[in-house]
Amino acid sequence: MRLLGRQFTIRSLTCIALVTTTFAAIDARAAETDEYKDEQEEEDNSTQVDQNSVQKSQPRGRSEDKKNSSRESAKTRDSTPVANSRQVRRFHAVLDELLAEFGYDVKAGQIKGLSNIAVRKVKVSSAIPRTYEEYIETLIVERIRENSQVRILDCIPCKTRTSSLIDGKLMITSPATNMAKLDSAATTMGIENFMDVILVYHTSHMVLAVNVFNSQSKEMVWARSYNSETLKTRFQKLAVDYSQVEPKRLSEEYTPEYRLMVGLGGASVPNLSGRPADSAMLNLQIRSTEKFNNRHNEVGLMFSFLQAASSVVSSAPAESGSTSTSSTTSSTTTTSSTPVPKAFKTAVGLYAHFSYLFVGQVESYNEMRTGVGLDLGTLIASGYLAPAARGGFDFFLGRRFSMSFYGHYIGPASVNVSGSAAKVKGGGGGDVIFSLNY
């Protein structure tokens, strides 16, 4: 029994020692853990302090550059290439020039014999958005309407698509690809000619191609291409002023066109004395007009300066050795109360001018143009004021010169002679003027 008691006592003591040792180890381990956490916190704090000090020590611009570079790189990844406003304006300016040249051909009667035209399709190059196809079609129709009387039809069936199931396959067709449907649409709408338009865009130039074919025979009846690089050269060869066809969209205000004519010639004007020798005049004319109605009409003012030829040209000297004969005649002097006016040497005419020019659809300087003019105004001389009217023809030669043939009529008027009014008759005359045009 004593032996069992001793063993129990020894085992109890051993258990107590093990328990005490275990708790001591746990406390030590916890203490080590706490010390490690404290050291980590101190290291983290020191690292943060070091980073802050480094950021403060670095230049501010450098850190901002890094931020800006990161932002720019993000924008570069997210952004897509977009044309700027200057490129867009340049594109539309060149497009307007191409359409203006197409309008010139229409205006010159290139498609005058065609009727009942419909735009079948419009194609644009891959660099141009597909939404521009309807826009280009509208611009083409607009130029045809402005420059001709050709009838334009809207082919609605040409823009529709139909689907059908053939041999288990879905087939989608349209009149643009199916000739049978195209013939059916032409018969239904009464279309005689179809028009196709192609617009090609390159970085250096643009090309507009237009072709027209007959809806029944499918024969190509008209085709023309327009290159932006050779645009104005063609008009220079045709001797046509490019301002007639270029679009005037630089401002919303009306920009007038003027003509200034300065000419010199001879005239026959009824003079106060009634003698034919006094009616011969030298005539300086200045005409300033504004063009309208597509250069077919002109309206403005005309100034005429008349100088008697007898005051400029002196009498020729007599040949030496010639004999002269004189005779004495008896005459009776009669006294009259009616004053006799003296022939004027200088006169001025002021007129309002209106003319119509036969220039066709486009004025070409390679051809002689003809116009009909009418002037209404007055003739002014010393003590003399009379109504006057002129009418005649103008012949324009090239761009800078013209010849005018006009007849005029001077109406009856009164002339002041030494404080008394004397009645003078009017009469008819004419003038021929050679002018320089600006």
Q: Where in the chain is the domain with CATH 2.40.160.20?
A: 257-312+341-437
Q: Give the number of other CB atoms < 10 A from CB of residue 318.
A: 8
The per-residue pLDDT for range 137-187, each reduced to its tens digit, is 999 999 998 888 888 888 887 777 777 777 878 777 776 677 888 888 888
Pick from 401, 64, 110: which is nearest to 262 by CA?
401
The domain 85-244 having CATH identifier 3.40.50.10610: the answer here is yes
- Reported as a single tens digit per residue, the pLDDT across 91-108 is 888 888 888 889 888 888
Which residue bears the tokens 């020590």? Answer: 57
316 vs 186, which has greater pLDDT? 186
pLDDT at 407: 95
What amino acid is encoded at 183 in this protein?
D
Contacts of 27 (CB under 8 A, 6+ apart): none
Q: What is each CA distance from 156 to 121, 178, 188, in whole angstroms?
A: 11, 15, 11
Contacts of 104 (CB under 8 A, 6+ apart): 147, 235, 240, 244, 245, 362
pLDDT confidence of residue 182? 84
Give the pLDDT score at 332.
44
- Tell me, what's the pLDDT at 398? 87
Dihedral sign (CA 150, 152, 153, 158)? positive
Helix (H) or strand (E) holding 345: none
Average pLDDT over residues 66-94: 55
Q: Tell me the C-alpha distance between 191 and 194, whole Å.
A: 7
* 125, containing H or E segment: none
What is the per-residue pLDDT across 108-126, written as a single tens digit (0 to 9) for each?
888 877 888 999 889 999 8
Q: Where in the chain is the domain with CATH 3.40.50.10610?
A: 85-244
Closest-CA residue to 3 (of 11, 17, 14)? 11
Predicted local distance difference test score (pLDDT) of residue 79: 44
- CA distance to 309, 310, 324, 344, 382, per residue, from 313 (Å): 6, 5, 23, 16, 21
Which of 113, 123, 273 lies closest to 193, judged by CA? Answer: 113
> Is the predicted pLDDT of residue 346 greater than 90, yes or no?
yes
Mean pLDDT of 323-351: 67
Quote the pTM value: 0.50
CATH of segment(s) 257-312+341-437: 2.40.160.20
Query: What mean pLDDT value characterizes the chain?
Result: 76
Pick from 53-62, 172-181, 381-390: least confident: 53-62
- For residue 193, is pLDDT > 50? yes
Q: Cite the beta strand spans of 90-201 per DSSP E.
A: 117-124, 152-153, 162-166, 169-173, 193-201
| CA gap 435, 397 in Å, rounded | 10
